[in-house]
Amino acid sequence: MNARDETPEEIFSREEEPIEPHVAVKAPPAGHPLRVVDWAKANLFSSVPNTVLTLACLWVLWETIPPLIDWALLKAVWQTSDPRVCREADGACWALVTEKHRFILFGLYPWNEQWRPLLAMALFIASGAVSCYPGFWRWWLPVLWAIVLPACAVLMWGGIFGLTFVDNTQWGGLPLTLILSVVGLVFSFPFAILLALGRRSELPAIRAVCVGFIEFVRGVPLVSVLFMASVMFPLFLPEGVTVDKLLRAQVGIILFTAAYLAEAVRGGLQAVPRGQYEAADALGLGYWRKMGLIILPQALKISIPPLVNQFISMFKDTSLVIIIGLFDLLTTAKTALADPEWRPFFIESYAFVALIYFAFCFFMSRYSQFLERRMETGHRRS
């Protein structure tokens, strides 16, 4: 990226022109021969510094794009089980992904049973896609999830219906990443609502407990919470009781996420106009009915964008479980490189999982923008 140091001064000195780059020039009627030229003149070559910038960008593109295409597509090796073939070639070694994609996606899950996590993920992602459309937010949606989630659990664990039992220490890859983030969200969300309500409570002791928890968790890194989950939880439990590593990491993630989600919910609670609280009091509603029927529905709607953002960052943060030795998507990508023969092709392995993470996160961030526009009812007060 060779963007010239454009100082804020220069940006602000152009204030006569609209800031959005695309509306700079009114396009003449379609089909006009000069349309492209006019557009380029207005957006790329309007002044001398602007022209210099454009040329610099074009030069960077010229220098990077052709070699990149060469490397990634034209000279790439797509299929071989022998890393030496890759070493001979000049291009990318996508054969690493072709060879190891099942390990990267499913980790140590028994090879012959890997259709089970695949099916579980497909079910799960399909239900997720259905739930994204606000038109489907009906009574049957919770029913759907009540069927899908146990179905996924049965597929993953097995042990009944003739499926062999697979211990959760063998889970890994993308299913593990999805489980950690979705189970984390499902359990931390109610906890977060309680924390947010507690923080806004008028009872000083309850407020102090909630503020203390939220600020403590937000002040320390997730790594330290995961360390705590992995080394200190076993000490917290009575003798003889053990909890497996996955569950411990999951509890750590739930506690950590709850504090951040609570702050998002609190933002929503604060944005609900005071009159709504007063109206609920005037109706004689008790605390829980006031919150459940009047305040929370409005507050949660307002906090949807920050909630989705928190979920995105939690989805990315599940990759930290590599530090306590769980086989999530990032760990499998790194482990696929453990063989020194394949190690030079780390870019391919990381690019593959980066693409998966990117696809999920990008979709969610676009979705949150879509929801924000759709839910805008004009009552919002920020």
Partner 1 sequence: MPMTPASSPHRAVSGTHVAWWNDRRIRGVLYQVLVVVGVLALVAYLIDNTLTNLAHRNIATGFGFLGREAGFGVSESVIPYSPADTYLAVLVVGLLNTLKVSVIGIVLATVIGTLFGVARLSRNWLVARFATIYVETLRNIPVLLQLFFWYSLITEALPGPRQALNPLPGIFVSSRGLKLPEPVWQTTHLWMGVAFLAGIVGAWALGRWARLRRERTGALFPSLQAGAALIVGLPVIVWLLSGAPTEMSVPELRGFNFTGGVTVTPEFTALLIGLVLYTGTFIAEIVRGGILAVAHGQTEAGLALGLSRGQVLRLIVLPQALRVIIPPLTSQYLNLTKNSSLAVAIGFPDLVSTANTAINQTGQAVEGIAVIMAVYLTVSLSIAGFMNWYNQRIALKGARG
- Residue type present at position 205: A
Segment near partner 1 (CB under 8 A); pick from 104-112, 300-308, 361-369, 370-378:
361-369
Contacts of 94 (CB under 8 A, 6+ apart): 76, 77, 78, 348
Please name which of 210, 213, 219, 173 lies closest in space to residue 322, comparing C-alpha atoms.
Answer: 173
Shortest Å distance, C-beta 281 to partner 1: 6
Q: Is 87 in the site for partner 1 (CB under 8 A)?
A: no
Please name which of 316, 353, 318 lies closest in space to residue 334, comparing C-alpha atoms.
Answer: 353
Contacts of 159 (CB under 8 A, 6+ apart): 165
Q: Is 35 in the site for partner 1 (CB under 8 A)?
A: no
Q: What is the CA radius of gyration of the chain?
A: 26
Q: Is 223 in the site for partner 1 (CB under 8 A)?
A: yes
Segment near partner 1 (CB under 8 A); pick from 13-21, 73-81, 135-143, 182-190:
13-21
Q: Is 29 in the site for partner 1 (CB under 8 A)?
A: no
Positions 125 through 184 that interact with partner 1 (CB under 8 A): none
CA contacts within 13 A on the Cβ side of 35: 8
Shortest Å distance, C-beta 109 to partner 1: 21
Q: Is 58 in the site for partner 1 (CB under 8 A)?
A: yes
Positions 282 through 311 that interact with partner 1 (CB under 8 A): 282, 284, 286-287
Longest C-alpha distance within the chain, in Å? 81
Positions 64 through 83 that interact with partner 1 (CB under 8 A): none
Shortest Å distance, C-beta 290 to partner 1: 8
Reduce the secondary structure of 167-204 to three states and give it as a string: CHHHCCHHHHHHHHHHHHHHHHHHHHHHHHHHHCCCCH
Contact string 91-130 vs partner 1 (x = CB under 8 A):
----------------------------------------
Q: Is 19 in the site for partner 1 (CB under 8 A)?
A: yes
Shortest Å distance, C-beta 140 to partner 1: 32
Q: Say if residues 294 and 276 touch (Cβ distance below 8 Å).
A: yes
Q: Is 193 in the site for partner 1 (CB under 8 A)?
A: no
